[in-house]
A and B are shown apart, each in its own frame.
Chain A
Amino acid sequence: MNAEIALDIQGLSKTYRNKRGIDDITLQVARGDVYGFFGPNGAGKSTVMKIIAGLIKPDRGHVRLFGHDVGDQYELAMSQAGVLIEKAEAFEYMSGRRNLELAARLYPGLPKTRIDEVLELVGLAASGREKVGHYSLGMKQRLGIACALVSKPKLLILDEPTNGLDIESMVEVRELIKRLAAQERTTFFVSSHLISEMEMICNRIGILHEGKLIREGGMAELLQESGQSLETYFVAQLRIEREGARHESAAVQYH
């Protein structure tokens, strides 16, 4: 068990009834990394995120958080992680503060001031007592981030965290990620289909395409490889993938 590895994914596969899913994903996220999990819509990012959070079970493979297996030691594995999957889903008939209280109650020893801290952090201090049903989409997303942050997790798993946010809030979330990574050495595993966003906040990146991890590496390394931007690099990688698939299919037909 390597204490410096925050997230360890080994041979993760999951196939849905419609034959889509993920295939043999293996990656590691070191402590303090801001790991960008990039891929177009439908690439399988949320599937990986959901397996990490224990919301769905994989067909094969395993996930370890700080050395604890999500399948066998769920409580231990999740005790140091905060999660936001897809759009934030809060209980709309309760206030934002009450939603945070529900989350905070599951972490013994958390100071009572923590709820005020996170409300302040995500800019919801003034509307904390309002019912979530009255929140805008952006406010709900910020509440989701607050719920993920409330336990002061060492690892934050954020699936498309800037979804539904206006430009100002997107910048704020990016700044928050950078700040927490730098000051508190919080590890991030962030998914997005916006490559420019990944470029701005991540130091490592994994590129997912049609359920497969096609490339993984340090951001600086990939940018150097691409020569231009990550966007150009991604398009080039896709072409290589498609070309390879075409050759394989032609070879099968020939035989």
Chain B
Amino acid sequence: MNLLLSSTINEWTKLRSRKKTVFFLALIALLPFLGLPAVMKLQGGFGIAAIAGSDYPITVLNLLASFVLPLLIFMSAADMFSGEFGDKTIRSVLARPVSRFKIFFAKLIAAFSLVAAGLLLGWISSAIASFFLPHADGLPRALAESALAHAVTALPLFAICAAAVVVAMFFKHASGALAICILVYAAAKLLGFVLPQYAAWLPTAYMDWHELWIGSAATAGRIATVFSYLLGCGIVLSTLGYCAFDKKEV
């Protein structure tokens, strides 16, 4: 357990030492403020509150969960898996008294914790930004709901994270893995518009499943079904990723 924790700290240290990680986290923190002028202009144009302050964190979350955080995941997975095998730095990680099982899951946990940090940062930042917009009563309740929405969005992102790791294991270079991850994700999203009945089988179709939690239309049964599906996807894909990682020679 100690070695898993130490390895996770190592992976996290590597992630946060990269400039692009810092850039993405800064972008997540600034995005809600960067979007404020556009929203305010929209409000002025319509003369009504197009996006109320209480809805703003959810609007930002939709943007983060669909584009920014998946991109951060693909980049991290490509660097941590394909990149380290490609430049052979993985040797300095593997030739230590830590099993490949622990190293793999340390990497996965570190990548996922980066996503969790992004979600937390996004929520804090959009919650602060929402105070600059006109809002109806019940802002505290809206903020609590948006916190819940951010928390539950971690699950589909975990499945995407595990899927990105599986894809990354097939590549020797981070750039190739990143490009294919983006293409596959874009294709899965496109499938949602073209053939929605098939897209429902992909975890990418549930990036907005937080709507089930904060709306009143969804039943507990529907939430349980999607939860089990996403968790199952994450577990199966993580296992596949581990099998590929364990067999990889360097």
- Chain A residues at the B interface, C-beta cutoff of 8 Å: 50, 53-57, 74-79, 81, 83, 85-86, 88-91, 93-94, 98-99, 101-103, 105-108, 144, 147
How many chain B residues touch the partner (CB < 8 A)? 25
Q: Is B137 an interface residue (CB 8 A)?
A: no
B interface: dominant SS:
helix
- State whether B88 touches A79 (Cβ < 8 A): no
A interface: dominant SS:
loop
- Chain B residues at the A interface, C-beta cutoff of 8 Å: 2-3, 6-7, 9-10, 13-14, 17-19, 87-89, 91-92, 94-100, 249-250
Q: How far is the CA of A106 from the CA of B19 in the complex (A)?
A: 25
- State whether B87 touches A105 (Cβ < 8 A): no
Q: Which residue of A lies closest to B94 (CB)?
A: A55
Q: How far is the CA of A75 from the CA of B4 in the complex (A)?
A: 12
User: Which of A78, A91, A144 gathers the greatest number of chain B CB atoms within 10 Å?
Assistant: A91
User: A106's contact among B7, B18, B250, by CB below 8 Å, is which?
Assistant: B7
Contacts of A57 in B (CB 8 A): 249
- State whether A53 touches B95 (Cβ < 8 A): yes
User: Which of B9, B94, B100 gathers the greatest number of chain A CB atoms within 10 Å?
Assistant: B94
User: A74's contact among B19, B87, B99, B249, by CB below 8 Å, is which?
Assistant: B99
Could you show 29 A-B contacts with beta carbons less than 8 Å apart? Answer: A53-B91, A53-B94, A53-B95, A54-B95, A55-B91, A55-B94, A55-B250, A56-B250, A74-B97, A75-B3, A78-B97, A79-B97, A81-B97, A89-B87, A89-B92, A90-B89, A91-B17, A91-B92, A94-B14, A98-B17, A99-B92, A101-B13, A102-B13, A103-B96, A105-B10, A106-B3, A106-B10, A106-B96, A107-B97
Contacts of B91 in A (CB 8 A): 53, 55, 85, 89
- State whether B249 touches A56 (Cβ < 8 A): yes
Q: How far is the CB of B162 from chain A (nearest CB, A)?
A: 24
Q: How far is the CA of A76 from the CA of B18 in the complex (A)?
A: 32
Q: How far is the CB of A228 from chain B (nearest CB, A)?
A: 38
Contacts of A74 in B (CB 8 A): 97, 99-100
Q: Which residue of A lies closest to B14 (CB)?
A: A91
Given contacts A57-B249, A144-B92, 8 further A-B contacts (CB under 8 A): A53-B91, A75-B98, A76-B97, A78-B95, A79-B97, A81-B97, A91-B17, A102-B10
Q: Which residue of B lies closest to A147 (CB)?
A: B92
Q: Which residue of B lies closest to A74 (CB)?
A: B99
User: A75's contact among B18, B89, B99, by CB below 8 Å, is which?
Assistant: B99
Q: Which residue of B lies closest to A55 (CB)?
A: B250
User: Which of B2, B6, B19 gathers the greatest number of chain A CB atoms within 10 Å?
Assistant: B6
- State whether A90 touches B92 (Cβ < 8 A): yes
Q: How far is the CB of B75 from chain A (nearest CB, A)?
A: 14
User: Which of A54, A88, A102 gathers the greatest number of chain B CB atoms within 10 Å?
Assistant: A102
